[in-house]
A and B are shown apart, each in its own frame.
Chain A
């Protein structure tokens, strides 16, 4: 098992009232799964993804990741864990505008203490694998949305994460571009990467092996 969520609650206090963002979420994810999280706006999809990605905390419940109890881990170890095992893909790509494609890919490696020749090799590898060698010196603004997301995915995968989290990865793309990204996800999943994606689109969800539906922070 890759990760397990037991009775996860997350809330905010607003005007003396407790508003639940996540309510009693239980979830088990095996290695190699491709899960789609669906639900209307404000149902807690992104929050759930952030909790899984260890970017956000929760108020109650247990979270086990690769036999480690995330809820008892110190901030530092948590950061260590997601650095090592989790890659993120965002709806608006979140590439750094001032860096070229190549530099954007290299950036996560800088924070993982790889030596320069190693980094070069891994970046070249990724560029090759995603067929973007010709674009390595371009800046994000010079790319189409689909290409930018391609770089975003490549960046998420560059340090071989066990889990890829994608928050509406095709939300800003047209149908042809989204299809390409989904095909890519499918292929990555086949190669053994575990994927959890948040999506609004039924057709995108269909690429996954399992669908989780959320409504008002609760699984339905």
Chain B
């Protein structure tokens, strides 16, 4: 029987190539879209799961509110690891990371440095904690001694073969000598350590052994024993404040008590987060690598479900519409004794056949689209061809999809009353309400996606064009200038002499992502009162900084070499002045100190106030900020004249090679770095656009099929009207307007939903657009235009048909 079903199904599909194509194509697009998104989500969810015992590993977090500012850290004080080890029998192991950013690496006897993006100090428990094996080296001794390090395979091979790696001496940043004690495999792309290539023994890092509860610089991971419950650790961890932290800082702030600390509105809460949750659920200060947002995973899941549902709805719609052509077949089969169940099975076989065909087509689509998708999503996803589970899931979901979307048409058709359908009475076939609802549903989703896309893009556009308060264009930043030591000033002067250079400044701190450092500043007067403290960014800059960055000074003056004591001056921003509770003019002359813990605190006098500028993403409010003249700088920022940058870069590199032979010339444009900050939004925008187009395409396929069906169903009516003198345009209008009504209903449903959802999304941004009415107008216009285009072909075709044919009585 099944064989017969398949044979009949195959024939009837082949007999209707157009409908079969619409069905297969629509479903294939849906499956391909959902497949790509699923692979993406699967990849996102797989982060850090590859580590042995990943489910028992947790990171210690610190929420600190001090001086009116609330910050959430992924890092904790150095002594917390040892303390946890001692205090909790549930904890088997602790490991600390102290990241130090990029490092220049070369073999001791060579000249040329190679830059590694991420180097970190790490405890020797690292290997046991994460179940990492050494390719060469001894687990028992690796990273135990000071000045030893372990490299990843790729990093090691830049200098020597893996087999001769052991015992090699490497020079880091031209001054620290390390001995290689092991090589590990490259760390997976979906792990939090993906960017890290150099691991140095914590034993050699002095700071890690000092018991200082006041500064947070260490990522601390703990591994529980199998029987332990992480919840049991939370309360004791919170008690660390009174037990260790307060006594620890009493040496700087004599007499401070936990009660005082809390009464001033401060808090300090230690908590934990499972390792496997970090990638999607953690957005803290000093994350070890960039994380994603669980929200974007939710949004993508929604889109995947949307797309699949849209495609299924399409399938149902087209199949029921198509069933009109099958009505006669159903009638004959029923008269010949086929029962309902038999018919349902027949139609289900057909729909499963179509869904398998779609699956095949979808795989082809997905394979073709994967490279583009990877670029779009900034991923390196591949089809898990060799995974039997992948195929199993695909086959299972294709079957389910076929059965699900075939069920309504099958039941619908099996209900046909033979006498009526054989007489050709197609008016009584019904089901049109369901179909109309489905079309409304499809278009509502499409319009919603159009609105979302418009808003996301508008917000991105807004960010791109907003007055940032500084000038990010034509600014080239040369990194690692500290490696040339004392010659850095002359390098700057050489560069400034170049014709196309407008200005140049040395600093480690820039409005685009770069170093950040903040301190609590206490005023000269009323220093003992914690409420007067101001938490500010503390940026070391030079005399040319403000003019190069193009900040606007709204009160006071810039740093100036004419004034002898500018080394004890600071310039603050508007937000800082606001926190101090004075006007910019009144703020001038006030003195603050960032190190009141020391016996002889150094006070800085405010000499200028700059207009606020955006130095953190638009999601966040502008924080308080102070600038002082610093004597150390990672980078040189060079403001160039408009024009070709290639020559400019070449000339600057020439100077660099003269003053710093052998050092890599590492540079980037501030604008690129700025744009990187909004990559995730941009990604979201691109993904939105793509899947909006897909969903509209699917909805159009459905509408197209339905218009065909409708025209077919109303052939008789069209014929009569034509004979009575209706013109082609009158009939076209009549047929199209019915669909436009559905589309308008869909629009009415989706406008408020779109408005609500997008306002919710925008709430995440401190600086955001207002959604204009034109967004809705445009979405409406677009939906209507697309619907008209889709429907009119069928309507016109029906309208110009010869009525004689349709009115012929059998």
* Interface, chain A (partner B; CB < 8 A): 46, 50, 55-56, 79, 82-83, 88, 90-92, 94-97, 107-108, 110-112, 155
Contact = CB atoms under 8 A, between A and B. Distances in A.
A92 B809 contact: yes
Contacts, number: 41
Interface residues of B, number: 18
A46 B803 CA distance: 13
A112 B809 CA distance: 27
Given A56-B804, A83-B725, A111 B730 contact: yes
Interface string B790-810: 000000000000111001110
Contacts of A90: 807, 809
B802 A108 contact: no
A96 B719 CA distance: 10
B725 A79 contact: yes
B725 A112 contact: yes
A88 B724 CA distance: 8
B725 A55 contact: no
Given A91-B809, A92-B809, A96-B717, A111 B803 contact: no
A53 to B, nearest CB: 8
Contacts of A55: 723, 802-804
B371 interface: no
A157 to B, nearest CB: 12
B720 A96 contact: yes
B487 interface: no
B721 interface: yes
B24 to A, nearest CB: 33
7 contacts: A50-B804, A55-B802, A90-B807, A94-B807, A96-B720, A107-B721, A111-B726
A30 to B, nearest CB: 25
A103 to B, nearest CB: 12
Interface in B407-465: 427
**7 closest Cβ pairs, A-B complex:** A111-B725, A83-B725, A108-B724, A111-B726, A55-B804, A94-B720, A56-B804
Contacts of A94: 716, 719-720, 723, 807
Contact of A111 (B719, B724, B807, B809): B724
Given A90-B809, A92-B809, A111-B730, A155 B724 contact: yes
A110 B727 CA distance: 11
Nearest to A108: B724
Interface in B700-753: 716-717, 719-721, 723-727, 730
Contacts of A107: 721, 724
Contacts of A155: 724
Among A94, A96, A155, the most chain B Cβ lie within 10 Å of the Cβ of A94
A82 B727 CA distance: 12
A60 B727 CA distance: 26
Contacts of B803: 55
B727 A97 contact: no
A7 to B, nearest CB: 22
Given A91-B809, A94-B716, A111 B721 contact: yes
A46 B809 CA distance: 10
A56 B802 contact: yes
A96 B427 CA distance: 11
Interface of B is mostly: helix
Given A55-B802, A55-B803, A56-B804, A108 B725 contact: yes
Among B717, B726, B727, B807, the most chain A Cβ lie within 10 Å of the Cβ of B807
A198 B50 CA distance: 85
A82 B730 CA distance: 17
Contacts of B804: 50, 55-56
A41 to B, nearest CB: 12
B806 to A, nearest CB: 10
B714 to A, nearest CB: 10
A173 B19 CA distance: 40
Contacts of B717: 96
A111 B720 CA distance: 12
Contacts of A83: 725
B723 A88 contact: yes
Contacts of A111: 721, 724-727, 730
Nearest to B726: A111
A111 B723 CA distance: 10
Among B725, B730, B802, B809, the most chain A Cβ lie within 10 Å of the Cβ of B725
Given A79-B725, A83-B725, A97 B809 contact: no
Contacts of B726: 110-111
Nearest to A107: B724
Given A56-B804, A108-B724, A111-B721, 18 more contacts: A46-B808, A55-B802, A55-B803, A56-B802, A79-B725, A83-B725, A90-B807, A90-B809, A91-B809, A92-B809, A94-B716, A94-B719, A94-B723, A94-B807, A107-B721, A107-B724, A111-B724, A155-B724
Contacts of A108: 724-725
Nearest to A167: B809
A212 to B, nearest CB: 20
B430 to A, nearest CB: 14
A201 to B, nearest CB: 16
A97 B426 CA distance: 12
A75 B809 CA distance: 24
Contacts of B730: 111
B801 to A, nearest CB: 12
Contacts of B807: 90, 94
Contacts of A96: 717, 720-721
A95 B427 CA distance: 13
A126 to B, nearest CB: 14
Contacts of A82: 725
A94 B806 CA distance: 11
Contacts of A91: 809
Contacts of B720: 94-96
A137 B716 CA distance: 22
B732 to A, nearest CB: 14
Contacts of B721: 96, 107, 111
A108 B720 CA distance: 10
Contacts of B723: 55, 88, 94
Nearest to B717: A96
Among B716, B723, B807, the most chain A Cβ lie within 10 Å of the Cβ of B723
A73 to B, nearest CB: 16
Interface in B372-396: none
Contacts of A97: 427
A155 B809 CA distance: 19
Among B427, B719, B724, B730, the most chain A Cβ lie within 10 Å of the Cβ of B724
A112 to B, nearest CB: 6
A76 to B, nearest CB: 9
A96 B717 CA distance: 6
Contacts of B725: 79, 82-83, 108, 111-112
Interface in B87-102: none
Nearest to B800: A75
A108 B721 CA distance: 7
A92 B808 CA distance: 10
B711 to A, nearest CB: 16
A180 B804 CA distance: 27
A162 to B, nearest CB: 15
Contacts of A92: 809
A88 B720 CA distance: 10
A95 B717 CA distance: 8
A49 B730 CA distance: 26
A97 B717 CA distance: 9
Nearest to B720: A94
A48 B730 CA distance: 28
A82 B803 CA distance: 13
Contacts of A79: 725, 727
A50 B427 CA distance: 25
B420 to A, nearest CB: 13
A108 B804 CA distance: 17
B722 to A, nearest CB: 8
B810 to A, nearest CB: 9
Interface in B26-57: none
